[in-house]
A = this chain, B = another copy of it.
Amino acid sequence: MENPKTPPSLSAKIADAIRTAIVDGRLLVGDRLPSESELADNHGVSRATVREALKRLAAQSLIRTERGAFGGAFINHLSYAEARAQQVTTSTLLLGMNAISFQVACEARYALERSCTSLAAERRTDALLATMRSEIDSQSTRDLSDEAFCASDVAFHRALVDCAGNEVLSYHLAGSVEAMQPLMNMITFTARSRAEIIDLHRAIVSGLERRDVASVDRALATLEAYTITLGQTVLKARATR
């Protein structure tokens, strides 16, 4: 967690000890940790140090603290929403900080997204198909900003992965899709390219409706290739400016 060259601080050590206990299942959801004063005594450190350790754990949503009598630090139930938020933050930063080519990121994202098509075609619901159509309508709005277009694009793809009816799958794929958003926001979508993308979105919905996995896969592959082309255009424009 911390630079291995510097010896870990006391607060880091205490946080690690508690984190290990949680991951190993020695502390269960809902359990209450000892009070900060007790923890301080147990570990032979000051309360301030214990508090720093607890804040580290809170940042990972491992614990939640409540004030007042019989308050304290409780082992948190990690919800899908919290887990997804963390995964998106981590993945977004990873993509932003590692000079990853747009093409590699895109290739990974669409490879992952294709993993849901078979289940999605099998299990898609009318409600989710309606959501996807509604997002397509949004994307067709005139004078839509590029950011809004991207946001709707993300919502469309999240609905697509949700069609697979597997929360765990949705969690992983949502991380992969949303982490791409900052990269996608670099692209300026012309009316021409928007029309192209919307057509492919229509093909995806239609394919899901007919439970035609192959046609969904084809549309996604075309979308991937087209997105990479758009990305390369942007990069070329940047290089020559």
Q: In the complex, A2→B73 CA distance in Å? A: 12
Note all chain B residues with C-beta closer than 8 A to A104.
Answer: 166-168
Note all chain B residues with C-beta closer than 8 A to A59.
Answer: 1, 15, 55-57, 59-60
Whose C-beta in chain B lies nearest to the C-beta of A83? B94
Interface code A151-179, partner B: CB below 8 Å = 1, 0 otherwise? 00000000000001011110111011000
B116 touches A111 (CB 8 A): yes
Contact residues, A187-231 vs B (CB, 8 A): none
Contact residues, A109-135 vs B (CB, 8 A): 109, 111-116, 118-119
B52 touches A89 (CB 8 A): no
Note all chain B residues with C-beta closer than 8 A to A114.
Answer: 115
Determine the main DSSP class of A at the interface with B.
Answer: helix
Interface segment among A22-30, A139-147, A233-241: the answer is A22-30
Interface size class of A (residues with CB under 8 A): 35 or more
Output the least CB separation between A28 and chain B (Å): 9
Within 8 Å by CB of A61, from B1, B15, B53, lies B1
Interface code A40-66, partner B: CB below 8 Å = 1, 0 otherwise? 000000001001110111111110101
Q: In the complex, A90→B51 CA distance in Å? A: 22
Contact residues, A1-29 vs B (CB, 8 A): 1-3, 6, 11-12, 15, 19, 22-23, 25, 29
Q: In the complex, A29→B56 CA distance in Å? A: 21
Contact residues, A59-95 vs B (CB, 8 A): 59-62, 64, 66-67, 77-80, 82-83, 85-87, 89-95
Note all chain B residues with C-beta closer than 8 A to A55.
Answer: 11, 52-53, 55-56, 59
Q: In the complex, A11→B164 CA distance in Å? A: 39
Output the least CB separation between A229 and chain B (Å): 18
Within 8 Å by CB of A112, from B80, B93, B112, lies B112
Note all chain B residues with C-beta closer than 8 A to A175.
Answer: 87, 172
B168 touches A100 (CB 8 A): yes
Note all chain B residues with C-beta closer than 8 A to A34.
Answer: none
5 A-B contact pairs sorted by A residue (CB < 8 Å): A48-B51, A56-B59, A78-B90, A83-B91, A104-B168
Known A86-B86, A108-B168, A109-B168; further 17 A-B contacts with Cβ < 8 A:
A2-B64, A11-B55, A48-B51, A55-B56, A56-B58, A56-B59, A57-B59, A60-B90, A78-B98, A80-B94, A83-B91, A86-B90, A87-B90, A94-B168, A100-B167, A112-B169, A112-B173
